Structure 1
Amino acid sequence: MEELKKTPLFSEYEKFNAKTIDFGGWALPVHFTGIKNEHHATRNNVGLFDVSHMGEILVEGKDAEPFLQMMLTNDLSKLTPDHARYTFMCYPDGGTVDDLIVYQLATEKYLLVVNAANIDKDYNWLLKHKFEQVTISNQSDKFIQLAIQGPKAEQVLQKITDTKLSDIKFFEFSQNVFFSGIEEKALVARTGYTGEDGFEIYIGVESGVALWKAIIKAGEDVGIQPIGLGARDTLRFEANLALYGQELSSSISPIEAGLSFAVKTNKTSDFIGKEVLLKQKNEGPPRKLVGLEMIDKGIPRHGYTVLCQQKKIGFITSGTQSPTLNKNIGLALIATDYAKQGDLVTVQIRKKEVQAKVVATPFYKRG
């Protein structure tokens, strides 16, 4: 049996009594003090996440921009250094290779941050289509990635840096942030996967443990908590942030997932999957991702069948009892004809059909 991969921060988990699980071949903490507790800590205060399992791929060279314009659905033509975009790589049939964030480091230099389970697939997909004057390198083993999220994230992080963090706006970043007692500079981006304010920090592997400890110490007075995968999932789910393998996949397009804002079919350059995605945009996709709120008792789980009058109309992509709203809710990919707000459907939970209604998303919005 293959040994699980560990991030350089694995040794720190024990100090906080982490319960670790196998997550796509990685030994990662599912929780430290409990999923609900960590969820509320992030929503109301501040939490620290080790997300070093994520992948980082560097794309640089004279033709880096035209190459990425072909590979990615969003428009990079107006992107400038120290700014980022959420985007997709798609197959010719419109299915999703991956969702990712692209950071422009310099005029001809981009960092792609991809999902952990997709690192090799994404890297090979990029290599398969590479332009001559482009260099692509998988840098995933060189970075630690930490996320500090929550209303007090800036307050805590500001204690250990002279960089004015309030100057970094949403989806912007600084590449030259130094933290107290750490010689190596970090890239700090105002991005996240929780629906809260906060930052994602990229720094070399050797500095990871020191930075983790420094942030924990800086947040002690406000009760900072380390946060596991369980709360990361409930937080992103409430904010309607897609999870690859659930809301997005090789058979689910970004348009079906309701993410057309990051699919720029009007950009001048062609991109892989454009024809199908343009058709879905213009005509409307046959299926649509919707929010469901349970009327009857029961929690909709990933993969459960959704029906209307005994007819199968789709399936649950994600579902849980929302810690913030204290309701049983789900996301479902269903036939567009049944996707209007207020429509009633049923979810097959084991041997029972349980009633639910279509509701607006996101379920939770900050402020």
Structure 2
Amino acid sequence: MKSPPPMQRGPIMPEAEMLRVAGGSSQVFALGKGDRLRLTDLEGGQNALLYAFAAQESLPSGHPAAPREALAGLIAANENAAATHHQLAGRDLASASGILISGPDAPAGEALSLSAERDMTCVLIVPAGNSTADAVVPATDFHLEIARSDEPANRAPRSQPAPPLATPIQDFRVKAATAERFEVKAGQYIQIMDIDGRQCSDFLAFDSELLKQGIECGLDATATRTLMGRAYPGPGLFSKFFDQRMRATVEVVQDTCGRHDTFGLACTMKYYDDMGYPGHDSCSENFNKVLAQDGIAPRPGWPAINFFFNTQVNHDGTISADEPWSRPGDYVLLRALIDLTCAASSCADDIDPANGWDPTDIQVRVYDAHHEFPKAIATRMTPDSPPVFTKETAFHSKVAPLSRRMVEYRGYWLANSFLADGAVAEYWACREKVAVIDLSALRKFEVLGPDAEALLDYAVTRDITKLSVGQVVYTAICYPHGGMLDDGTVFRLGPQQFRLVCGDPYVGVHLRQLAEEKGFKVWIRSSTDQLHNLAVQGPRSRDLIAKIIWTPSAQPAANEIGVFRSTVGRLGHAQGPAVVVSRTGYTGELGYEIFCHPRDGEALWDAVFKAGKPLGVVPMGLEALDMLRIEAGLIFAHYEFSDETDPFEAGIAFTVPLVSKKGDFVGREALVKRKAEPQRKLVGLEIEGRETAHHGDHVYAGRARIGVITSGMRSPILDKTIALARVDIGSSEIGTELEIGKLDGHQKRLKAKVVRFAHYDPDKTRVRM
């Protein structure tokens, strides 16, 4: 390879193939002569090694050489070692040339750009860090981009599908504007892949056994929507799809796109005729052709699962469509629940944006039933980010057997409730005894370096300069216009070491952008995957914590720390796993959070439940947590706050010390103006009767709509129906009588009154016990 200027930053390369190489993993990829490669250290300070296999030395000089003999050990130490060895099978690892790239002092976004002078196979190694809860050195991600050469002889074909997930038993291409029929057995997996991006695919499936009897029984839109309890169409997929006999036919296992039409007609000849294109190919006609051999009667329009279609229902009930969100290589993985005869199309539509105006091919692969593919939904933090699948927390092996209601929450599988008790019982356990919830999905960022304090003080609304080592502070994080990006807690671990715990993964990007703008010398390292946490909440939580946490003499005991304080300790004894314990929570009760490295998650769970058994401990899910936080008046992203609401409107004015905080911070100027001229305010409502108000219900003063319900519930402990609402400042005084509109907002009203909140323990006496 030859190297341009050694390190350079820039926008995503046009038409580039993008791969995310996670910290602690490796990635094998091929380059052809003339291909351009860019490797970006997304968060800075991450070591990486690039090795190449070629007939001649192929990596540029000017970089420290990586030892050939170390490659085998580096691969073995990574989490995907088996897959990497499989991809490099038959190659002499000792023959690879290697270089070291990036390093501990590299700034975030530093990139190495290279150009291949010959064909080669490469492997990028991103070694894992060495982390414990009290000394997090997280391994972070690299972003790999490949721009293929324009030389036709050397360029990878445009329609080159991504590698299979396993060895397929069927692997075929559905050419643009055609359809293909295929059969699968119960338990087998079906992968529908958009090869080039922005291409839709319709999917049909019929019960094979009934077809042999001459009976058509296929996917049914009405049965599916009814049984799944969701309106048509949705910007995603049902977890299962049903046939006319209301039997589950296929289930969705993985989805990397996230936006599809739930169930509509495949495109029809009538549509093209009516648009002035008689004789145009259509998916429905293509299905008729390929299904004729099964004796299936032709239809002018086939109801199908519409993969990658970007449709939505507008406020007036009309359906609109636009270009798909799918990128090259996006796919949906299904599992057949019965023997099926299937058909998949590459949508023929080239007269509107449905396929980006340019129909391309679809790849279909079938995998045997013995494979185990984890259920996952892919998310992208930013539009140019590679997809990241739903992850399991360190406590998943303990949680999953106890719950049948696991939900995807911000990229992780968490329990919504548990089989043994249910949400209401979990709620009462937290109010009266002690409950434990997995909150590992909270994002953690290590903010390190000489300017760590200066960056955080500028990035958040609270005065970080007043934070002592071992202290924790709750704060808002705002945009320049005053709207909230997120809320979170800042831990001071040392003079130049901080930890920010929040909800939105984009906060890390935001902090790095601010650091670059201000010229701060600081590193922001994502540590979410190296630091998982349990919240231990309830009146007996202190007794539980005292039983299991050992702390050195230089640290306060876990049961001694005050509100918004933390301590470093060990689980059980001086040689136990390292943990960090904080006096924080999201329930309105006395409570703690325990942070550990994921490798120690099972040990922590076992210790908590062994010590907590005499205290009445129960596991708690997100549903009970939501009830607890509403009663306690604690806010939630996209409910009580968003980028359109400021901290005053979100009910956390105390996080914005405009007078006592002398330093500048993001949004200060806008917040000064917003505080002087408030327009809306978060209030508590007490509602007559037992009917619950829900998020999004409108609040009225007479005929005028003056606000919206942000959260509502029937409070078990208060035996009242309560809500949080954001209302016009003129209707926010305690005692103001309002109404909540149901149905169309006017035919049915619930009477409500503005009351003090938090509804439960408004003076926060319980958390200070």
Does 2:667 match 1:273? yes
Secondary structure at the residue paired with 1:146?
strand
Secondary structure at the residue paired with 1:313?
strand
Call closer, same or farther: CA 1:347–1:45 in 2, change over 3 Å. Answer: same
- 1:298·1:349 contact (CA, 8 Å) conserved in 2? no
- 1:55·1:140 contact (CA, 8 Å) conserved in 2? yes
Residue type of the alignment partner of 1:17: S
Alignment correspondent of 1:357 = 753
- 1:54·1:113 contact (CA, 8 Å) conserved in 2? yes
- 2:710·2:724 contact (CA, 8 Å) conserved in 1? yes
Does 2:393 match 1:14? no
Determine which of 515, 521, 531 is the counterpart of 1:133: 521
Residue type of the alignment partner of 1:305: H
Does 2:734 match 1:341? yes
Residue type of the alignment partner of 1:179: G
Cα distance, 1:37 vs. partner?
0.6
- 2:403·2:415 contact (CA, 8 Å) conserved in 1? no
Q: TM-score, normalised by structure 2?
A: 0.46
| Aligned-residue RMSD, C-alpha | 1.5
Cα distance, 1:18 vs. partner?
4.5
Identity percentage over the alignment? 35
Cα distance in structure 2, aligned partners of 1:205 and 1:181: 19
Cα distance in structure 1, aligned partners of 2:400 and 2:666: 44
Unaligned runs of 5+ residues in structure 1 are none
Cα distance, 1:318 vs. partner?
0.5
Secondary structure at the residue paired with 2:391?
coil
Does 2:585 match 1:192? yes
Alignment correspondent of 1:68 = 456
* 1:294-324 Cα deviation digits (max 9, x unpaired): 1244211011111111101010111111121
- 1:348·1:354 contact (CA, 8 Å) conserved in 2? yes
Determine which of 588, 591, 602 is the counterpart of 1:209: 602
- 1:307·1:314 contact (CA, 8 Å) conserved in 2? yes
In the comparison of the two structures, how many residue pairs are matched?
Answer: 363
Cα distance in structure 1, aligned partners of 2:652 and 2:724: 14
Q: Which moved more, 1:311-320 or 1:25-34?
A: 25-34
Cα distance in structure 2, aligned partners of 1:135 and 1:181: 31
* 1:203-251 Cα deviation digits (max 9, x unpaired): 1110011101110011111220000001111111111111111111111
- 2:550·2:569 contact (CA, 8 Å) conserved in 1? no
- 1:182·1:210 contact (CA, 8 Å) conserved in 2? no
Does 2:438 match 1:50? yes
The 5-angstrom pairing of residues 247-262 of structure 1 reads 247-262=640-655
Alignment correspondent of 1:162 = 550
Cα distance, 1:350 vs. partner?
2.5
Cα distance in structure 1, aligned partners of 2:708 and 2:403: 36
Does 2:421 match 1:30? no
Moved over 4 A (4+): none
- 1:182·1:207 contact (CA, 8 Å) conserved in 2? no
Determine which structure has greater relative contact order: mean sequence separation of CA pairs < 8 Å that are 6+ residues apart, divided by chain length: 1
* 1:265-322 Cα deviation digits (max 9, x unpaired): 12121111111212233x2511000001112442110111111111010101111111
Cα distance in structure 2, aligned partners of 1:146 and 1:349: 38
The 5-angstrom pairing of residues 217-366 of structure 1 reads 217-266=610-659, 267-281=661-675, 283-351=676-744, 352-365=748-761, 366=765
Secondary structure at the residue paired with 2:610?
helix
Cα distance in structure 1, aligned partners of 2:677 and 2:433: 40
Cα distance in structure 1, aligned partners of 2:606 and 2:433: 18
Unaligned runs of 5+ residues in structure 2 are 1-254, 257-375, 377-389, 552-556
Q: TM-score, normalised by structure 1?
A: 0.95
Cα distance, 1:101 vs. partner?
0.1
Residue type of the alignment partner of 1:269: G
Cα distance in structure 2, aligned partners of 1:96 and 1:359: 25
- 1:177·1:188 contact (CA, 8 Å) conserved in 2? no
Residue type of the alignment partner of 2:597: G
Call closer, same or farther: CA 1:157–1:18 in 2, change over 3 Å. Answer: farther
Alignment correspondent of 2:541 = 153
* 1:153-181 Cα deviation digits (max 9, x unpaired): 01112112333333211101112344349
Alignment correspondent of 2:499 = 111
Cα distance in structure 2, aligned partners of 1:162 and 1:137: 28
Cα distance in structure 1, aligned partners of 2:689 and 2:480: 41
Q: Which has the larger radius of gyration?
A: 2
Whichever structure has more helix as a proportion of its residues is: 1
Secondary structure at the residue paired with 1:81?
coil
- 1:172·1:189 contact (CA, 8 Å) conserved in 2? yes
Call closer, same or farther: CA 1:166–1:27 in 2, change over 3 Å. Answer: closer
Q: Which moved more, 1:199-208 or 1:19-28?
A: 19-28
Residue type of the alignment partner of 2:417: H
Q: Which moved more, 1:272-281 or 1:311-320?
A: 272-281
